[in-house]
Amino acid sequence: MSDLSIEARSLSKHYGQLIAVDQLSFEVGAGEVLGFLGPNGAGKSTTMKMLTGFLPPTAGSALVNGHDIVENSLAARRCMGYLPEGAPAYGEMPVRAFLEFVARSRGFDGKSAVREADAAIDRLNLSSVPEQPIETLSKGFKRRVGLAQAILHDPRVLILDEPTDGLDPNQKHEVRDLIRDMSSDKIIIISTHILEEVHALCNRAMIIADGRLLVDDTPDGLIARSRYHEAVTLVVEHPEQVASALSELPQARKVELREGELTVFPREGAKLLEVITDAVRENAWAVSELRLEAGRLDEVFRQVTQGEMS
């Protein structure tokens, strides 16, 4: 057993009548990169604020490396880095001054605070802007400052609330690389609205809605819940004709024509790709595209959070 762990036990947060987080229980261990998914208002940020000791739970508890986040808040916080939603506070402070301030509040003094701040500046590629007030930085740089303060004390548990939200594609890529580089010996929890991000970064995914845990699975397991999993999609001339021919296949359960694409869904356990490529060849259909579907995460997300079948 590793000493690295997060354990949430019936964690709840009520705001008056509103139940933002409703008896959430889960455990996370070393090497896990957990993606937190859920619609707006699902309770992701509230859960992260409780885990990081910024918000007391209404009921339940959580342990970080065995330290209770309420009873032993300081010890729990010491092993954690937290990137809150949005931009870091203290916008009027220059980057280096802010990071030195954070280093001191993390217990580094004098020279070591300066050294840690400089190291964080290096790691997050902030060396072109150390004297610039944070509020005058672009979104991407602000996010890097946020990440710099989160990792400054080299925590083994990282809680990142929408780390790539609002960044351009290059910066998204850069932040994902950074997170991936750090992930091997840590626990990382990331909230995101970008479903592909879960596939790119995480080895576990949780979907929450209305403060409740709905799904806890691997990204592959999540995608396999899609009704598109193992389906075959074609773009072909005369699709109606092809659809009616393909619906005769014993392996096909259903054929759908949507927005110019023809999708064939397999019967339980049946493999479609080979029989369909054979049929295409035999009939000389004019196919411009043919693909085996892994599944569609957006559809799984909708299905799980709204009970909707597309």
Residue 47 is a binding residue for Mg ion (CB under 5 A): no
Select the residue interacting with Mg ion from 12, 45, 47, 251 (CB under 5 A). Answer: 45
Candidate segments 37-45, 108-116, 216-224, 265-273, binder of Mg ion by CB under 5 A: 37-45
Residue 226 is a binding residue for Mg ion (CB under 5 A): no
Nearer to Mg ion by Cβ, of 13 and 227: the residue is 13
Which 76-115 residues touch ligand ATP, going by CB under 6 A? 85
How many residues of this chain interact with ligand ATP, rule: CB under 6 A?
12
Binding mask 22-41 for ligand ATP (x = CB under 6 A): ----------------x-xx
Q: d(Cα 158, Cα 150) in Å, to the nearest integer?
A: 7
Q: In what order do the strands lie in the sheet with 204-209?
A: 80-83, 157-161, 187-191, 33-37, 204-209, 212-217
Rounded least distance, CB 302 to ligand ATP, Å: 15
Select the residue interacting with ligand ATP from 37, 42, 124, 152 (CB under 6 A). Answer: 42
CA atoms within 13 A on the CB side of 309: 1
Query: Nearest Cα to 118, choosing from 134, 95, 150, 87?
Result: 95
CA atoms within 13 A on the CB side of 129: 20
| Four-residue CA torsion sign, 236, 237, 239, 245 | negative
Helix (H/G/I), strand (E/B), else coil: 50: helix
Q: Is 116 exposed, middle or buried (0-12, 13-18, 19+ CB in 10 A)?
A: buried
Rounded least distance, CB 248 to ligand ATP, Å: 46
Residue 52 is a binding residue for ligand ATP (CB under 6 A): no
Candidate segments 6-14, 39-47, 94-102, 203-211, binder of Mg ion by CB under 5 A: 39-47
Which 216-275 residues touch ligand ATP, going by CB under 6 A? none
Minimal CB distance to Mg ion: which residue? 45
What residues pair up with 14 in beta bridges, in sequence order? Answer: 19
* Interface residues toward ligand ATP, by CB under 6 A: 15, 18, 20, 38, 40-46, 85
